[in-house]
Amino acid sequence: MNAQRVVVTGGAGFLGSHLCERLVGEGAEVVCMDNFLTGSPHNVEHLLGRPSFRLVECDLTGFVHVVGDVDLVLHFASAASPVDYMRLPIETLKVGSLGTLHALGLAREKGARFLLASTSEVYGDPLEHPQRETYWGNVNPVGPRSVYDEAKRFAESLTTAYRNSRGADTAIVRIFNTYGPRMRPHDGRAIPTFIRQALGGEPITVAGDGTQTRSVCYVDDTVEGILTLARSGFEGPVNIGNPAEMTVLALAETIRDLVGSRSPIRFVERPVDDPEVRRPDTSLAAARLGWRPRVDVVEGLRRTISWFARELRGPGELVDR
Ligand code: NAD
């Protein structure tokens, strides 16, 4: 399917803004819906003059209405970084539940395909490694991260119920850690934190002893995977992420080297329920979508660092929007 008119919820956030940009570039008409809770109009301001782009301030947990036809709903509204969702626990549960209900309702009303942005966090602190889509996860339902993990698990269940009982055309993508330009320097995620600290000459704060692993995917690869899934008939769930796994300490050191910084590494307390390992098994994405990540971590980090270096005014003046 070549979507003509696309609604992107959470379109003013990090991933959503890249999706909007790519879709507009490909000739689609885009309605970006966002309440700017963790995103900003600044992320899409370069698209505002385009006749095919519309930014609508709207809280997905309330009344949702779009005039005209819609072919595809990409549901990305939700706080995503642990710092954000622990600061906004009820908002996160509400957008994962009510927000998903309303986005599904919109897709159904318009006869549109619906794609849910789910997450590797549905696997929790995984007992299976790497994680395949068939793994059910290891989530603490009353732990501090549960507001996000359980909201996404509920959203997956709701999406599946709409598909099975209402005949909705749906897809679920489980996105693994993605990074790139337009992440907020203070959003608490490892890569923007390390880059901000390295550029500012501050100590780089690594949680625990840094031996926990992450697999990080450059945003262009993630966007390509999401849009390939959206345009396929596949329902998923399907993992999208980069299987190249590295320790958090190695990530910090790589960033420090690429920045050319002399920042020391400082080990800080590890957050509760922080996953020990994280690596997607992407064989399903390769087999069903022909997708695989193309940007290696050094190249992706280089691009991200140069964006941050341009955006941040300089040492001592680091700002967040
Ligand atoms: P982000 O915080 O940058 O973007 C989320 C956007 O949703 C923000 O613009 C925010 O204002 C908006 N939003 C939140 N609540 C809303 C509501 N009630 N109504 C309307 N808009 C609302 O986060 P992101 O990293 O771009 O993540 C986007 C989506 O992708 C999320 O659903 C997240 O769970 C998923 N995801 C992201 C990653 C990643 O590595 N970035 C990994 C897995 C899943």
Domain chopping of the chain, boundaries: 5-178+216-240, 180-214+244-276+296-318
| Residue of the CA atom closest to atom 16 of ligand 1 | 77
* 58 closest CA partner among 79, 72, 37, 44: 37
Percentage, residues of the chain above pLDDT 70? 96
Q: What would the mean pLDDT of 25-45 be, rounded to a whole number?
A: 97
For 5-178+216-240, CATH number?
3.40.50.720
- pLDDT tens digits, 90-100: 999 999 999 99
- pLDDT tens digits, 113-158: 999 999 999 999 889 989 999 999 999 999 989 999 999 999 999 9
CA of 302 to the centre of ligand 1 (A): 24
Q: Is the peptide bond before 237 cis (omega within 30 degrees of 0)?
A: yes
Whether 78 is in the pocket of ligand 1, judged by its Cβ within 6 Å, is yes
Domains 5-178+216-240 and 180-214+244-276+296-318 share a fold: no
Whether 77 is in the pocket of ligand 1, judged by its Cβ within 6 Å, is yes
CB neighbours of residue 310 within 10 Å: 9
Whether 10 is in the pocket of ligand 1, judged by its Cβ within 6 Å, is yes
Percentage, residues of the chain above pLDDT 90? 91
Which atom of ligand 1 lies closest to the CA of 17?
26
Q: State the pLDDT at residue 71.
A: 98
Burial (CB < 10 A; 0-12, 13-18, 19+), residue 93, is buried
Mean pLDDT score across all residues of the chain = 94
Q: State the pLDDT at residue 10.
A: 98
Which atom of ligand 1 lies closest to the CA of 95?
18
CA distance linking residue 269 with residue 30, whole number of Å: 42
The ipTM estimated for the assembled molecules is: 0.99
- pLDDT tens digits, 236-277: 999 999 999 999 999 999 999 999 999 999 999 988 777 788
At 2, the pLDDT band (50, 70, 90 cuts) reads low
Q: State the pLDDT at residue 116.
A: 98
Q: State the pLDDT at residue 318.
A: 43
- pLDDT tens digits, 292-302: 999 999 999 99
Contacts of 232 (CB under 8 A, 6+ apart): 171, 288, 289
Burial (CB < 10 A; 0-12, 13-18, 19+), residue 167, is exposed
CA of 175 to the centre of ligand 1 (A): 11
Q: What is the pTM assigned to this prediction?
A: 0.95
Q: What would the mean pLDDT of 164-182 be, rounded to a whole number?
A: 97
Q: What would the mean pLDDT of 80-109 be, rounded to a whole number?
A: 97
Residue 320 has pLDDT above 90, yes or no: no
Residue 313 has pLDDT above 90, yes or no: no
Helix axes 190-200, 297-311, angle to 10 degrees: 60
Whether 148 is in the pocket of ligand 1, judged by its Cβ within 6 Å, is no
Protein fold of 180-214+244-276+296-318: UDP-galactose 4-epimerase; domain 1 (3.90.25)
